[in-house]
Chain A
């Protein structure tokens, strides 16, 4: 059974295309008001999952509930969607394009025009209100489309690769906009193959690879899948304090003096280790505990191959 406590809940979504399984049993639970990232390389099944959640295509099997409705179409007026493949009518004026996207979601055209102009002004684009889409730069056109996605005040916003094609400045603007939406109670779900965006923005992520979701949950929980790393620099290389280190910890001898150690933080914590080092006169030169990043978590959860594919996706976009 699916509950109503989530903005999106999906169980066992499967989609096959001509014998190829694009999505293979995806489970998702997106909390209300959260910023939720779907992280995976190109071809992992992100877009297909987002399309199934909205009812653009139907799953071959599995259940989905979106904003409390079993049928996504029943809540279409509460959803805003920015597809990965951006598209606007080139001869339309910017505010008309925003109003048109609102009209598709049931917003009266006149109200859409009014809001479109107001949103353009609010986001510093007032000079472009009367311009046609074809007169805008690619980044600016994308901003207009994002405003069109939001013009009907949706409760759930779905962005498919929203940062792709944006320069650093506009990526920052979009991150700010996403945070503002979530602060206002809107649930934001976006797909990305750039870990940094997910790490900076998301409360929770779903890692997707090969059509499956090996992890879905809070970002901190993903990171905690990998123990924190202790990086220790000692003047001495031998002594009774060595017993406090994990047995397989090996020193990386420095050329001039002492040794560099790197090992997972013991289950007992850092205090007993620190005490043993001091009492054993190890000669601590430096000690740091580094928490695992989302990238390390992704590697640990999805595997090296998926991580390589993710990196390749990022490089392709950069190129």
Chain B
């Protein structure tokens, strides 16, 4: 009888991973846990809404509106004095006034140019007041103009020696956008991206734990360990789950689009991220994959050392709490661009995908993302290799009854004899 050519030696890490991933993918796809996975967003959406309220505080911290002044020197002084005088009564209702340019006689203001110039006031200008205190001109995006027209009129009235009963006409000069408005809106996009990433990884973490429990119950692990590299087992399980998550995302996307077309749900309109939508979405997929792989590789490493299903179940709570901590850390870092905290969030492998996705929404520049993806991939490889080595060292040490040497997960983690 003719036999097909046999593979020589042990399967490569990639080939072994494919065999495991194929089995896991099909098994999970037809399992009940996949149904729960598809229904999963209902619960995390609720949690996400709670987390969103914290995000709103973060957004406020980023969104401190400041209006630039481009007027003659005496008008600027009058406006600043007027604002100072009104502050005790109106406090938060008044915007900050920032001197952009004191115009010399005959010099013309260029408010649009000032709004587009990111070097002025760090790019954080909501609008520009030009003209004179008697006839101010407010330049900015339409939404912002409507919000600040009243307070600016009040300040101008005070600057010209009038009370609130004689308000000057504030001429509005709308622009397409301003750097501050753009920054504000991009924060929303960044928050949306981070929240989505968090929800997806949280759902997936539950699936990974379920899969680990199944594996412990099945006792197939030694067959796998005998035939293929342990790294293949870990990678195969990780990639199977990732593929499953893409199927889930596809189902949710189609469902969301269908419901939106029917008018049953409203999909919020977010401003175009700094890198543009196509690149932002591509990076979102990549960072989602990395966030999951980093987390999943740690789960597998720890879970594979567990002696029982119960030990794995005890991981559930710390895992969820850990994920929340990572999410909050990355959100907090987002409000402090360029700070040490943001850099720390970008470097720590668990928070790096979240921090980098926010950065993709808010700031331009691609090379840092490529470096971050490489950095995160490196940590996935380190965790998988480390987990496989630990597994071989600590788990494959005796028969099922053990020799009195087999240790539990907690003891293994402590390294106690």
Binding site for B on A (CB under 8 A): 17-20, 22, 42-43, 46-48, 51, 54, 56-58, 73-77, 79, 81, 83-92, 100-101, 103-109, 111, 152-153, 160-161
Q: Which of B3, B27, B392, B404 makes the CB contact (< 8 A) with A57?
A: B392
Q: A20-B403, A42-B399, A57-B392 are in contact. Are A104 and B16 (CB under 8 A)?
A: yes
* B residues near A76, Cβ cutoff 8 Å: 9-11, 227-228
Closest residue of chain B to A82, judged by CB? B223
Name the residue among B8, B27, B223, B397 with the largest chain A CB count within 10 angstroms: B223
- The answer to whether B225 has its CB under 8 Å from any CB of chain A is yes
Beta-carbon contacts of B4-30 to A below 8 Å, as 1s and 0s? Answer: 101111110000100100110001001
Contact B9 A75 (CB under 8 A): yes
Q: How far is the CB of B33 from chain A (nearest CB, A)?
A: 11
* A residues near B392, Cβ cutoff 8 Å: 56-58
Q: Which of B27, B219, B403 makes the CB contact (< 8 A) with A85?
A: B219
- The answer to whether B310 has its CB under 8 Å from any CB of chain A is no
Q: A91-B27, A100-B23 are in contact. Are A20 and B405 (CB under 8 A)?
A: yes
Contact A77 B405 (CB under 8 A): no
Q: A54-B226, A73-B9, A76-B10 are in contact. Are A47 and B399 (CB under 8 A)?
A: yes
Q: Give the 9 A-B CB pairs with smallest separation, nearest first.
A: A106-B7, A87-B219, A76-B10, A104-B227, A87-B220, A73-B10, A83-B222, A85-B400, A47-B399
Q: A18-B405, A108-B4 are in contact. Are A87 and B221 (CB under 8 A)?
A: yes
Q: Which of A18, A57, A153 makes the CB contact (< 8 A) with B417?
A: A18
* B residues near A18, Cβ cutoff 8 Å: 405, 417
* A residues near B9, Cβ cutoff 8 Å: 73-77
- The answer to whether B119 has its CB under 8 Å from any CB of chain A is no
B40-92 with Cβ < 8 A to chain A: none
Contact B31 A91 (CB under 8 A): yes
Contact B399 A85 (CB under 8 A): yes
Q: A74-B10, A77-B7, A105-B227 are in contact. Are A89 and B399 (CB under 8 A)?
A: no
* B residues near A19, Cβ cutoff 8 Å: 417
Q: A87-B219, A91-B30 are in contact. List 7 more A-B contacts (CB 8 A).
A: A17-B398, A73-B10, A77-B7, A77-B9, A85-B399, A103-B19, A104-B223
Q: Which of B4, B228, B399 makes the CB contact (< 8 A) with A84?
A: B399
- The answer to whether B378 has its CB under 8 Å from any CB of chain A is no
* A residues near B4, Cβ cutoff 8 Å: 108, 111
On chain B, the number of residues with a Cβ less than 8 Å from chain A's Cβ atoms is 37
* B residues near A85, Cβ cutoff 8 Å: 219, 222, 399-400
Q: How far is the CB of B38 from chain A (nearest CB, A)?
A: 18
* A residues near B223, Cβ cutoff 8 Å: 81, 83, 87, 101, 104
* A residues near B219, Cβ cutoff 8 Å: 85-87
Q: How far is the CA of A47 from the CA of B399 in the complex (A)?
A: 6
* B residues near A92, Cβ cutoff 8 Å: 23, 27
Closest residue of chain A to B214, judged by CB? A89
Contact B228 A104 (CB under 8 A): yes
Q: A18-B417, A104-B223 are in contact. Are A89 and B23 (CB under 8 A)?
A: yes
Q: How far is the CB of A184 from chain B (nearest CB, A)?
A: 13
Q: How far is the CA of A42 from the CA of B402 in the complex (A)?
A: 9
Q: How far is the CB of A78 from chain B (nearest CB, A)?
A: 8
Please report whether the interface of chain B is mostly helix, strand, loop or mixed according to DSSP.
loop
Q: How far is the CA of A286 from the CA of B220 in the complex (A)?
A: 57
* A residues near B247, Cβ cutoff 8 Å: none
- The answer to whether B257 has its CB under 8 Å from any CB of chain A is no
* B residues near A17, Cβ cutoff 8 Å: 397-398, 405
- The answer to whether B315 has its CB under 8 Å from any CB of chain A is no
Q: Which of A83, A100, A106 makes the CB contact (< 8 A) with B6?
A: A106
* B residues near A56, Cβ cutoff 8 Å: 222, 225-226, 392, 396
Contact A47 B7 (CB under 8 A): no
Contact B218 A57 (CB under 8 A): no
* A residues near B221, Cβ cutoff 8 Å: 87
Q: Which of B11, B218, B398 makes the CB contact (< 8 A) with A47?
A: B398
- The answer to whether B401 has its CB under 8 Å from any CB of chain A is yes
Q: How far is the CA of A13 from the CA of B400 in the complex (A)?
A: 22
Q: How far is the CB of A55 from chain B (nearest CB, A)?
A: 8
- The answer to whether B224 has its CB under 8 Å from any CB of chain A is yes
Contact B401 A42 (CB under 8 A): yes
Please, could you name 10 A-B residue pairs with CB atoms under 8 Å apart, sorted by A?
A17-B397, A42-B401, A47-B398, A48-B398, A56-B222, A56-B396, A75-B9, A89-B23, A104-B11, A104-B227
* B residues near A161, Cβ cutoff 8 Å: 399
Q: How far is the CB of A158 from chain B (nearest CB, A)?
A: 9
Q: How far is the CA of A153 from the CA of B5 in the complex (A)?
A: 12
* A residues near B10, Cβ cutoff 8 Å: 73-74, 76-77
Q: How far is the CA of A231 from the CA of B398 in the complex (A)?
A: 44
Contact A107 B23 (CB under 8 A): no
Contact B403 A104 (CB under 8 A): no
* B residues near A47, Cβ cutoff 8 Å: 398-399
Contact A89 B398 (CB under 8 A): no
Q: How far is the CA of A17 from the CA of B365 in the complex (A)?
A: 51
Closest residue of chain A to B30, judged by CB? A91
Name the residue among A22, A106, A160 with the largest chain B CB count within 10 angstroms: A106
Q: How far is the CA of A164 from the CA of B396 in the complex (A)?
A: 20
Q: How far is the CA of A104 from the CA of B223 in the complex (A)?
A: 9
Q: Which of A20, A51, A73, A109 makes the CB contact (< 8 A) with B396?
A: A51
B184-243 with Cβ < 8 A to chain A: 218-228
Q: A87-B218, A87-B219 are in contact. Are A153 and B405 (CB under 8 A)?
A: no
* B residues near A108, Cβ cutoff 8 Å: 4
Q: How far is the CB of A70 from chain B (nearest CB, A)?
A: 13
Q: How far is the CA of A154 from the CA of B3 in the complex (A)?
A: 13
Contact B222 A107 (CB under 8 A): no
Q: How far is the CA of A58 from the CA of B405 in the complex (A)?
A: 17
Q: How far is the CA of A146 from the CA of B69 in the complex (A)?
A: 84
Q: How far is the CA of A22 from the CA of B401 in the complex (A)?
A: 14
Q: How far is the CB of A21 from chain B (nearest CB, A)?
A: 11
Q: How far is the CB of A104 from chain B (nearest CB, A)?
A: 4
Name the residue among A43, A73, A76, A111 with the largest chain B CB count within 10 angstroms: A76
Q: How far is the CA of A84 from the CA of B401 in the complex (A)?
A: 10
Q: How far is the CB of A93 from chain B (nearest CB, A)?
A: 11
Q: Which of A48, A57, A81, A111 makes the CB contact (< 8 A) with B227?
A: A81
Q: How far is the CA of A59 from the CA of B6 in the complex (A)?
A: 29
Q: How far is the CA of A20 from the CA of B407 in the complex (A)?
A: 13
Q: How far is the CB of A192 from chain B (nearest CB, A)?
A: 13
